[in-house]
Amino acid sequence: MSKNIIFLNPIFKETIWGGNKLKQFGYSIPSDTIGECWGISAHKNGDCTICGGEYKGMTLSQLWNSHRDLFGNCEGDCFPLLVKIIDAKKDLSIQVHPDDRYAMKHENGSLGKTECWYVLDCEKNSTIIIGHNAKNSIEVENMITGRHWKEFIREIPVHKGDFFQIEPGCVHAIKGGTLILETQQNSDITYRVYDYDRLSNGQPRNLHIKQSIDVIQAPFKESSYERTISFGLDYTCEKLIECPLYCVESLKISGSAQIPQTHSFMNMSVISGEGTINNIAIKKGTHFILPYNYGNIEFKGDMQIITSYIQ
């Protein structure tokens, strides 16, 4: 069995709300309106290629299909997670995602989407939209069709290091000035509720009013997950979320830390600092997967890494 670390080439996505902050990660981005870096993805709309090693040039989906042993023989048609860095220079549209059941029925058998956000950075007084103020489904429909956006939308302050779990049916939007690492189910199904009446190439972008009203959960319930922190020699590991779809952790290394890889696979994205993993140089902006049965990892350096895995 191969025990090589699977390093990935990120994919960049041009968006009307994107900026150029992804340069901070050492990426040479193709324009000044890049909203997303897909760092770990096997999605058909952006399938990362493997960078270096014996699988060099293969896509992550090809590797998933041909070498499932690297992923602990996990079941499923597609690699289950997608990790992105999002640079919102302007506000993203207000949106909601379906759950697996709704997506299966209405979106050609696609998966629904649960996602979570780790706030990497944000400008002073930044806000984010999570949830709504309607008391029930009828109010949701009335507020949306009546365009009562101010009353409908629940906007809250956001700070560096905040973490949000976005369940299907939860109205949400990243607002301008925020840089986020998103870990999500491998799905690209988004229903746009409201786009601030903006124009893209002279036209308003499509809204999905019916689907949104179908899937929005009412009333909004804040999801409460406890963040727990464990301490090792020269590292801390903070569990940000453990849900049926994924676990996400923030790993902070300072010095020389030994950590075992005990999961079917482990996604890792370096979000600050630099150092080595088993003597291979890594730095802010590096994305990689530790395969099944990788054994002990030895990190050296000063870095923060966001990890994700499934149980």
Q: Indicate the DSSP class of residue 93.
A: P
φ and ψ at residue 144, rounded to 5 degrees: -75, -50
Catalytic residue numbers read 192
What is the pairing mode between strands 266-277 and 295-309? Answer: antiparallel
Residue linked to tokens 């897909």: 38
CA angle, corner 278, sides to 275 and 280, nearest 5? 55
Residue linked to tokens 């802010």: 284
| Rounded Cα–Cα distance for residues 68 and 75 (Å) | 9
Establish whether the linkage from the previous residue to 98 is cis, with ω within 30° of 0.
no
184: Cα within 13 Å, side-chain hemisphere: 29
What's the sign of the alpha-carbon dihedral 243, 245, 250, 253? Answer: positive
| Rounded Cα–Cα distance for residues 2 and 264 (Å) | 14
